[in-house]
Amino acid sequence: MVKKKEKEKKKKPTVADARQVAALPYKRTRKGALKFLIMTSRGTRRFVIPKGWPMKRLRDHDAAAREAFEEAGVRGKIQRLPIGVYVYWKRMSRVFKLVEVDLFPLRVTRQAKEWPEKGQRAMAWLKAQDAILLLDEPMLKTLVKEFVEQMEAKGAAVGKKKEPAP
């Protein structure tokens, strides 16, 4: 009985119907510019980032990293704490659900040649302003803008090519 109450305390209060985790895949070019990987969803073909449902045996940031590999074939260093939360309406079979998404930056270090969902989505590495224009969710756009500002401030302080520890 005590364990159940402890689990309930750990859950964040939310107005959403469901919760997901997402990776924000990024890299720096040789000149130090930030680029983001965005892709189309399988159903609506909107531009999105890798996301999915939390996984029982994985911490949220690890689940987000797994989604990034399964959906986009990327691996790298994922930040352990989310940089924020955004909400969106997810189309289910008969209804729409309001979903709250924890966002974890993923500094991409490798692109696989093969991955589970290869060929099911269009993908592109884009400059921040282009990625932001193509993403639909306003709260996600804001989080990406804030992340870019943070990374640029850190990059200016230590030199554009150096990556801050996630």
Which residues does 148 contact at the CB level (< 8 Å), separation at least 6? 34, 128
| E strands present in 29-142 | 34-40, 47-48, 51-52, 74-78, 84-91, 96-111, 123-127
49-74 pLDDT per residue, tens:
999 999 999 999 999 999 999 999 99
Give the pLDDT score at 156. 56
CATH architecture of 13-156: Alpha-Beta Complex (3.90)
Helix (H, G, I), strand (E, B), or coil: what is residue 102?
A: strand
7-19 pLDDT per residue, tens:
444 455 566 789 9
Residue 120 confidence (pLDDT) above 60 = yes
127-152 pLDDT per residue, tens:
999 999 999 999 999 999 999 999 98
Give the pLDDT score at 12. 58
Residue 108 confidence (pLDDT) above 60 = yes
Residue 2 confidence (pLDDT) above 70 = no
Predicted TM-score (pTM) of this structure? 0.83
Give the pLDDT score at 93. 81
Angle among Cα 100, 105, 29 to the nearest 5 degrees reads 140
Give the pLDDT score at 6. 44
The two structure tokens encoding residue 91: 């189309």
Helix (H, G, I), strand (E, B), or coil: what is residue 153?
A: helix
